[in-house]
Amino acid sequence: PSLAPLSTLREIIHALHKSGESPFSIMEDEGEDCEITIEMDPGTFDIHFLRDIKEMGFNRISLGVQSFDDALLSNMGRVHRVKDVYRSIAMIHDVFGDESNYSIDLISGVPGLTLAKWTETLHEATRLRPRPNHMSLYDLQVEQGTAFGKWYGDAENDDDRDGILSSGVLRRTKEGAAASTHPALPSAEDCAFMYSYASGYLRSRNYEHYEISSYAYGQKQHRSKHNQNYWAYDGQWYAVGLGSTSNISGVRYARPRALSDYVTWAEGLGEIDDSIVEEDDSSSIVPTQGMEESRIKPPWLWKDPNDTNEDVEEDEKDDALLDVVMTRLRTSEGLDLDWVADHPRYGTSHAETILRGFDLALDLDLGVRYHANSEERYGSIRLKDSQGFLFSNNIISNVFVELSEMDS
């Protein structure tokens, strides 16, 4: 977004905040407490850009630092260098002052990264001034169709890999398995150590590890507000742009991914009078008959309250519960089983099934079950930091299996 013209950003903010036709009233409702974040890469903006976005209302910056080592940044294909990182943070301080509210992203598991260099990275991150209020730490994903996938595919797909780390990313075990012309990927054991070390080190520096990849400095007010909404029970959000997915009243609405399809779809919204939207097999949105009230809201936000399609309802219910299980077990608070038991769409049978799937974590001492008060029947479950988080995919998958067998 920091590459977008300022005029484009102004139009977006105006549409969200000023336009009487906008369905988005979040900024007005939240007032001064509203968090407005923009993602920016070091070296892609200057101080004039920062002054302009501050005037627009942006009050939080997510800075894609990734590393404090030029060689590692080059290995990752990043165009910025360490000097750009420090210059960017200095400009943020000049414009936003001592109350600068920014987050940084760091990546572990990258080619050429050693344990020593990772500890230096974390040390440098905590020495930044002004201090970042938030950090997001991710492990490199090697995906097919990318340069890394071509260079390191054999290391990622080796049948003999240990698979000891499962925090939502692909994994490697054979150090140096890639071609000699490219730096070696860290081993699975080293990546597991990087994750555990980061958790312990940052917590010792007063950063709260509140989600599997997220750290907030000090008190809870520095947690990412928009991310917490995605992880919340019954969270709802609007999303705009290519391939974006909104969640309204428990129903997800996906927008077209291709620009040409998106333009055609957006232009067609003005021509729809009596329709609702559904997703077809290609994830594009097409109108269908059935909307009784004409154009009260944009069709992509609309859900028919009289829809009694039991198959659709069941699919939505199952998907929503899986989302809650996955996102909540990635947080430090974990999953409230009483919420599941008391929910009108689920019940005690679902809570007991989830607990049965979570027994794997309890047996392996990777998770805990706790009661916040004596009135709770089932209590809550959460994964331990950091070993439980390391094996989160295994535990969550086990819960999913139990739920799927229950449905069948």
Q: Write the DSSP string, 187-249.
A: PHHHHHHHHHHHHHHHHHTTEEEEETTEEEESSGGGS-HHHHHHHSTT--B---STT-EEEET
Decide if pLDDT at 25 tops 70.
Answer: no
Closest by alpha carbon to 106, among 91, 90, 117? 117
Q: Determine contact, residues 140/107, Cβ cutoff 8 Å.
A: yes
CB contact set of 149 (below 8 Å; sequence gap of 6+): 142, 143, 156
Is the torsion defined by CA of 311, 314, 320, 323 positive or negative? negative
Answer with the residue of higher pLDDT: 180 or 149. 149
- Mean pLDDT computed over every residue of the chain: 82
pLDDT score for 47: 97
Tokens 């990318």 appear where?
146
Identify the bridge partners of residue 170 per DSSP, sorted by sequence position: none
Q: Spell out the SS3 assignment of 59-87.
A: CEEEEEEECCCHHHHHHCCCCCCHHHHHH
% of the chain with per-residue pLDDT over 70: 77
Better-predicted residue by pLDDT, 402 or 283: 402
Give the CA distances from residue 190 to residues 165, 186, 195, 364, 402, in Å, rounded to whole numbers and listed in that order. Answer: 10, 6, 9, 21, 32
Close Cβ partners of 38 (under 8 Å, ≥ 6 residues apart) = 1, 2, 9, 53, 58, 60, 61, 62
Amino acid sitting at position 302: W
Under a CB-based contact definition with an 8 Å cutoff, are residues 77 and 142 in contact? no
pLDDT at 359: 97
How far apart CA 212 and CA 215 sit, in angstroms, is 9
DSSP element (H, E) containing 311: helix 310-328
* Cβ-proximal residues to 89 (8 Å cutoff; 6+ apart), any chain: 63, 102, 128, 130
Name the token pair of 65.
């630092």
316 close to 271: Cβ distance less than 8 angstroms: no
Give the relative orientation of helices 82-96 and 47-56 as an angle to the nearest 10 degrees.
40
Q: Where is average pLDDT lowest: 121-135, 159-173, 187-201, 369-383?
A: 159-173
DSSP-derived pairing of the beta strands 214-217 and 380-383: unpaired
Residue 270 pLDDT grade (very low, low, confident, very high; cuts 50, 70, 90): low
Report the pLDDT averaged over residues 84-100. Answer: 95
Contacting residues for 355 by C-beta, under 8 A, at least 6 apart: 337, 369, 378, 381
Cα 128 from Cα 65, distance rounded (Å):
12
Summarised one tens digit per residue, pLDDT across range 10-21 is: 988 887 776 566
Tokens of 165: 């780390």
**Which residues, other chains included, contact 283 with Cβ-Cβ below 8 Å and sequence gap of 6+?**
243, 254, 256, 257
Could you report the per-residue pLDDT of 289-325, keeping only the tens digit for each?
333 333 334 555 544 444 545 554 556 667 889 999 9
* Helices 188-204/115-127 angle, 10° precision: 20
Higher pLDDT, 146 or 134: 134
> What is the distance between the alpha carbons of residues 235 and 212, in angstroms, rounded to a whole number?
19
Q: In the predicted model, is pLDDT for residue 370 greater than 60?
A: yes
pLDDT, tens only, 198-243: 999 999 999 999 999 999 999 788 999 999 999 999 888 888 888 8
The continuous run of DSSP H or E covering 139 comes out as: strand 134-139
CA dihedral 170, 171, 176, 180 (to 10 degrees): -10
Statement: residue 159 has pLDDT above 90: no
